[in-house]
Amino acid sequence: MMAQIQQEKDRLNLAPKKFNMWIFLFTSFMFFMALTSGFIVYVGGSKTHELTIKLPQIFMYSTGAIILSSLTMFLASREAKHLQFAKQRLFLWLTIFLGIAFFVLQVFAWKALIDMHQHLVNPNASISFVYVISGAHLLHILAGLLLIINTLVKSYKNTPQVLNLYNMEMSSIFWHFIDIIWIYLYVFLLLNQR
Amino acid sequence: MSTLAVHDHHDGVEHHDHDHGHHHKETFISKYIFSMDHKMIAKQFLITGIIMAVIAMILSILFRIQLAYPDKAFPFLETILGRFAPGGRLDANFYLSLVTIHGTIMVFFVLTAGLSGTFSNLLIPFQLGARDMASPFMNMLSYWMFFTASVIMLASFFVQKGPAGGGWTIYPPLSALPKAMPGSAEGMTLWLISMVLFVASQLMGGINYVSTVLNMRTKGMDLWKMPLTIWAFFLTAILGILAFPVLVAGVVLLVFDRSFGTSFYLSEIVVQGQVMNYEGGSPILFQHLFWFLGHPEVYIVIMPAMGIASEVMSVNSRKPIFGYHAMVYSLIGITVLSFIVWGHHMFVTGMNPFLGGVFMITTLIIAVPSAVKTFNWLATLWRGNIRFTPGMLFAIGLVSFFISGGITGIFLGNAALDINLHDTYFVVAHFHLVMGSAAIFGMLAGVYHWFPKMFGRMMDEKLGYLHFWLTFIGAYLVFFPMHFMGLDGVPRRYYAFTEIESLKQWLSVNTFITWAAIMSALAQVAFLFNFFYSIFFGKKATQNPWNSTTLEWTTPVERIHGNWPGEIPTVYRWPYDYSKPGAEEDFIPQTTPYSQTMTSNLPHDFEDNPTGLTQYNEWLKTQKVQEEVK
């Protein structure tokens, strides 16, 4: 009996689950480090392997959108802590909107690349890297959006505040992380432009 | 408060009732299939691992037959393999597939998932005093992803062109060009899908292990009171978390090359007289990404085995492990160093000799923590009260293989020597001893030792001894001669190298190795029978059959949900109080407070406990007074 109750308590012990998210960030971080290190090794191989194009301007706008979304995410967290649930939902909606905007802008950036005749299939794989790196990041954005939608849907239902805060925290840890990762990736690519 | 109240209420009504059946209904499916209980998941990993190991072993026997009798036809091969052995002779491409899948299954499915999956899941909650993993659901998902990955890997035997054949390292360009050979076609696609699922499974498992170790230890269990098994699993999980994503990145780029026509790894190349559409890629890039995982991977394989061996040897020597802190620090050293040595797999890629020198130095430094561990094991055995249980024998076997395989690592780590020995049987001998046999022996030691914890019954000892001696001698007979073949320049992975004039004389050795391999394979029948028979009909185990100090032996034999019927026990001491002078028995469980073992306490037991020390000194004084009175 005691074990049963204790186990229920363990199930509700959310700290280890939050910790899981932090460790997951490490795996994700290593994945992007591998891609960017691969880029460095590839570019270092020969002069013809350098990233000779100018990255489309649209990446600048998408970066703006995702930075803004981090801000709205932060505000949503703050309102959740202050029990302002209507405002929390509003900011979550804004974050989702900005996240989708980021997604769309990234796709437009690919289109801009294609218009520059810089295709994914390219004898200079450093350009293929731009596609793969931003594509892999977009998959993370998709996952992040799903997390935020989950938080939002549950906030409309009768969720206990502890769980609401937990959902909020899980999704914002991940969202801020992929925001920072994108800034890292973008700056990395900008610095490698020749 | 409410917890207490409910507890009291039920205490009177159903005091001895540990059956939770009426609370959350355990159906067959939720208990045995989609179980979220760490003990059941451990058993699922173990049995899947054993099945995969048997399959990989049969594959190895098949290609050993080809190596021993390259000119003979065996009609039964055609019967069982069909188009892969036309006329009773193994197809050359299928031979490559056999080698590839044998390696993949053994390294990833048996010695990574089967070993870590089983023992991390079983022992982390047990030895730390937790009810379950941090996220039981993720744990379940981890097993089922592993299972799916296994099914996909085996399914590749049923596609037209056969399984992947580029070696377990799947180097491009061979693996990146589906037309390059049959083993690079659909089989390789399935291999890649399977491995992505496998990595996802390992990451979920690993995240859980790390999180559980850091967050869910019972009261009193600080990091320095953890058994070495837990330290090993913990560091292994960290290695996996940092290394596996890099493999995924490498594999993603490979998938783009294979399926979308990019040129990450592919350069100008002609396949079957046809100029391919690739330019400027770098196959070496794949090797960097692969070995950045691949080298930590071999430590992912051996470190859990080391942890198990440390624990089993200490218990069965009835002695504290020699140099507990040194053991932990050397595990940490191995963990850190394993990330900066990957280049030693690439000495022959035209690497800058200076860079090769750097990788050589880092590689040779790993010999230091490895030697520390080896000497500590030997010192643990030294003058111990040794009980040669089957588990103990396998743990000692690990040390033997680790020494004899590790020594050749020092040869291979030297860039100058490696250029000669690269891709010869010397390498095959080296890694089969140092990580293959050693890790398998660690795993078997764990199975024999913790079988009573998993199934509540004992395995048969006599069959265990038979299994050990035949396997131990067999493994040496198989792998030792390979050193000499490698020194003579016999290349690995060749279908029929004895057709080469200068290597003809090795045919007799090949035949000998094959028969030794068949003998050790048959020895596994003893294990399989023992294992499955004992699950149902073995001798009933007592609660603590090995007189061990660690927490898992304080749980009831029935293995209930939540592990401990009442409160989780508190831990007061380190896990290696064996044969402590002055103690009543030759082991003191971790749950025994120092106040109950006054006669065996020592001043250094109270290093960070000044009140305890004062009390201990006072007690000493009263003892002296009493003696004077006498």
Q: Tell if the CB–CB gap between B131 and A42 is shorter than 8 Å.
A: no
**Is the separation of the CB atoms in B41 and B33 below 8 Å?**
no
Q: In the predicted model, what is the mean pLDDT of residues B425-452?
A: 96
Q: CB-based contacts of B37: which residues, under 8 Å, 6+ apart?
A: B31, B132, B136, B561
Determine the pLDDT at residue A6: 56
Which candidate in A29, A42, A48, A137 is best for mutational testing of the B interface (most B CBs within 10 A)?
A42
Q: In the predicted model, what is the mean pLDDT of residues A110-124?
A: 92
Whole-number Å distance between alpha carbons of A18 and A12: 12
Which candidate in B17, B219, B262, B346 is best for mutational testing of the A interface (most A CBs within 10 A)?
B262
Kind and range of the H or E run holding B271: strand B270-271
**Is the separation of the CB atoms in B280 and A49 below 8 Å?**
yes
**Is the separation of the CB atoms in B427 and B457 below 8 Å?**
no
**SS3 assignment, position A148:** helix
Taking only the tens place, the pLDDT of each residue in B54-106 is 999 999 999 999 999 998 999 999 999 989 999 999 999 999 999 999 999 99
Kind and range of the H or E run holding B274: strand B274-275
Q: In the predicted model, what is the mean pLDDT of residues A68-95?
A: 95
Determine the pLDDT at residue B625: 83
Whole-number Å distance between alpha carbons of A60 and A66: 10
Residue pointed to by tokens 């059959």: B545
Residue pointed to by tokens 């795996």: A27
Determine the pLDDT at residue B9: 38
| pLDDT > 90 in chain B, percent | 81
Which candidate in B2, B20, B211 is best for mutational testing of the A interface (most A CBs within 10 A)?
B211
Residue A130's alpha-carbon distances to A65, A138, B251, in angstroms, are 19, 12, 17
pLDDT at A156 over 60: yes
Query: Which amino acid is it at A179?
Result: D
Query: Best-predicted range by mean pLDDT among B18-22, B29-33, B465-469?
Result: B465-469
Whole-number Å distance between alpha carbons of A127 and A122: 7
| pLDDT > 70 in chain B, percent | 96
Is A55-191 a domain of CATH 1.10.10.10? no
> How is chain B split into domains, by residue range?
32-537, 574-629
Determine the pLDDT at residue B240: 95
Whole-number Å distance between alpha carbons of B88 and B74: 4
Range from B25-29, B387-391, B453-457 carrying the lowest mean pLDDT: B25-29
Q: Which residues partner with B587 through β-bridges?
A: B578
Give the N- to C-terminal CA distance of chain A in Å, as an integer. Answer: 68
Report the mean per-residue pLDDT for chain A: 91
Which residues of chain A lie closer than 8 angstroms to B563, CB-CB?
3
Structure tokens at B595: 């106040």
Q: Tell if the CB–CB gap between B250 and A4 is shorter than 8 Å.
A: no
Distance of CA B101 to the CA centre of its chain: 18
Residue of A nearest to B16 (CA): A1
Q: Is B82 left (phi over 0), alpha (psi -120 to 50) or beta?
A: left
Whole-number Å distance between alpha carbons of B497 and B503: 7
Query: Closest partner residue to B207 among A20, A33, A35, by Cβ?
Result: A20
**SS3 assignment, position B275:** strand
Q: In the predicted model, what is the mean pLDDT of residues B305-326?
A: 96
- ipTM for the predicted complex comes to 0.92
Residue of B nearest to A38 (CA): B285
How far B134 CA lies from chain A's nearest CA (Å)?
A: 6
pLDDT at A45 over 90: no
Q: In the predicted model, what is the mean pLDDT of residues A110-128?
A: 92
How far B285 CA lies from chain A's nearest CA (Å)?
A: 7
Whole-number Å distance between alpha carbons of A161 and B383: 60
Q: In the predicted model, what is the mean pLDDT of residues B376-399?
A: 96
CB environment B543-553: b (16+ within 10 A), e (fewer): ebbbbbbbbbb
Residue of A nearest to B278 (CA): A123
CB atoms within 10 A of CB B61: 16
Determine the pLDDT at residue B275: 87
Whole-number Å distance between alpha carbons of A176 and A71: 9
Please provide residue B527's backbone torsions phi and psi, each rounded to the nearest 5 degrees: -65, -50
pLDDT at B205 over 60: yes
Identify which of B274, B279, B250, B253 has the alpha carbon closest to the alpha carbon of residue A122. Answer: B279
More confident residue, A25 or B5: A25
Determine the pLDDT at residue B7: 38
pLDDT at A189 over 50: yes
Which residue stretches of B267-323 are H helix?
283-317
Distance of CA B442 to the CA centre of its chain: 7
Q: In the predicted model, what is the mean pLDDT of residues B21-49?
A: 83
> How is chain A split into domains, by residue range?
55-191
Which residues of chain A lie closer than 8 angstroms to B235, CB-CB?
none
Report the mean per-residue pLDDT for chain B: 92
Which candidate in B215, B251, B351, B561 is best for mutational testing of the A interface (most A CBs within 10 A)?
B215
Q: CB-based contacts of B383: which residues, under 8 Å, 6+ apart?
A: B319
Q: Tell if the CB–CB gap between A3 and B262 is shorter than 8 Å.
A: no
pLDDT at B19 over 50: no
Query: Closest partner residue to B208 among A1, A20, A132, by Cβ?
Result: A20
Taking only the tens place, the pLDDT of each residue in B105-161 is 999 999 999 999 999 999 999 999 999 999 999 999 999 999 999 999 999 999 999
Whole-number Å distance between alpha carbons of B302 and B327: 14
Range from A43-47, B234-238, B420-424, B511-515 carrying the lowest mean pLDDT: A43-47
pLDDT at B610 over 90: no
B630 pLDDT band (50/70/90 cuts)?
A: low
Determine the pLDDT at residue A46: 83
Q: Please, how many CA atoms are within 13 Å of residue B266, restricted to the half-sphere of its CB?
A: 30
Q: CB-based contacts of B181: which residues, under 8 Å, 6+ apart?
A: B93, B96, B165, B166, B174
Identify which of B283, B275, B363, B378 has the alpha carbon closest to the alpha carbon of residue B323. Answer: B378
Determine the pLDDT at residue B2: 36
Q: Tell if the CB–CB gap between A1 and B11 is shorter than 8 Å.
A: yes
Query: Closest partner residue to B562 among A3, A45, A136, by Cβ?
Result: A3
User: In the A/B pair of chains, how many CB contacts fall below 8 A?
Assistant: 146
Taking only the tens place, the pLDDT of each residue in B458-490 is 999 999 999 999 999 999 999 999 999 999 999
Q: Tell if the CB–CB gap between A121 and B253 is shorter than 8 Å.
A: no
B566 pLDDT band (50/70/90 cuts)?
A: confident
CB atoms within 10 A of CB B24: 11
Range from B7-11, B337-341, B395-399, B402-406 carrying the lowest mean pLDDT: B7-11
pLDDT at B342 over 50: yes
Domain B32-537: assigned CATH number: 1.20.210.10
Determine the pLDDT at residue B1: 33
Q: Is B488 exposed, middle or buried (0-12, 13-18, 19+ CB in 10 A)?
A: middle
How far B314 CA lies from chain A's nearest CA (Å)?
A: 31
**Is the separation of the CB atoms in B56 and B513 below 8 Å?**
no
Q: Tell if the CB–CB gap between A1 and B14 is shorter than 8 Å.
A: yes
Query: Which amino acid is it at B170?
Result: I
How far A18 CA lies from chain B's nearest CA (Å)?
A: 9
Residue of A nearest to B209 (CA): A20
Whole-number Å distance between alpha carbons of B7 and A3: 10
Whole-number Å distance between alpha carbons of B625 and B630: 9
Q: In the predicted model, what is the mean pLDDT of residues B360-389?
A: 96
CB atoms within 10 A of CB B604: 7
